[in-house]
Amino acid sequence: MVQKDPSRANIICNEIIVELEKQKNPKNIAGMARFGISQKGTLGIPIPVLRKMAKEIGKNHQLALELWKTGIHEARILAGFIDDPECVTEGQMEDWTKDLDSWDVCDQVCGSSFEKTGELAWKKIGDWSSREEEFVKRTSFALIACLAWHDKKATDGQFEAIMPLIIREAIDERNFVRKAVNWALRNIGKRNIKLNKIAIETAKKIQKTHPNSKSARWIAADAIRELESEAVQKRLVDKCKKTEARKN
């Protein structure tokens, strides 16, 4: 397998692309297309394979930048996996987000790299949420969903402050945006009991604020259905009890 060497990023990148090309799977590409994944530059390599490669390569910021430049679908996912969040700049985040043309690359980069950039991630949520480009706006809400699930240090107040953005953008009828808005709202509501109540209230506000929007109606109804479900409510109560037990 390719060895990590920051000083030889371009050479290593070429070696990795050769490795990726060997694993091209036309059958997988066709299957991915049925799930709305862009076929542009796609090789059809499963995520577990890319994660294994990333583990073997290790963190390498310069190599991540080189892989992204190739435009190859899987190379860009791999770039997110190996990038060092401490080296990620706002300019890089803007450039990568503008290049996005597929929801899976968007979500993987948010979950593996962008969400780990600290205050910068929270800043870009606000910046991107009001942008008109479909995948730029999706990135904002996919990032919210990832932070709600993984960022243990984030406060309830940070997520509560995001609710106006969710209400505002719930009327976007584009499939990849509305699904990300819904995902963000549901993940916030599954974080703890307090945010669960706030998320449900937000969903009901969406229904009242945008009664004529098909997208808003779906986002709200789907979120309420899951967040009020017995399974979610039980999980949150159990989580609360465990937290209290640790305190005592």
Q: What is the CATH number of the domain that holds 193?
A: 1.25.40
Other CB atoms within 10 Å distance of the CB of residue 31:
12
Distance from chain centroid for Cα 248: 35
Quickly tell me which residue has 């205050």 as its tokens. 119
- Verify that 35 and 150 share a domain, yes or no: no
pTM above 0.85, yes or no: yes
Distance CA 149, CA 164 (A): 19
Q: How far apart are CA 166 and CA 181, in angstroms?
A: 6
Do residues 216 and 122 both lie within one domain? yes
Question: Which residues form the domain of 31?
Answer: 1-87
Residues 17 and 77 in one domain: yes
What is the C-alpha R_g of the chain? 19
Number of domains in the chain: 2
pLDDT tens for 146-188 read 999 999 999 999 999 999 999 999 999 999 999 999 999 999 9
Does one domain contain both 143 and 223? yes
**Cα 151 from Cα 65, distance rounded (Å):** 25
Give dist(CA 214, CA 36) in Å, integer: 20
pLDDT tens, residue by residue, 224-238: 999 999 999 999 999
Q: Are 124 and 219 in the same domain?
A: yes
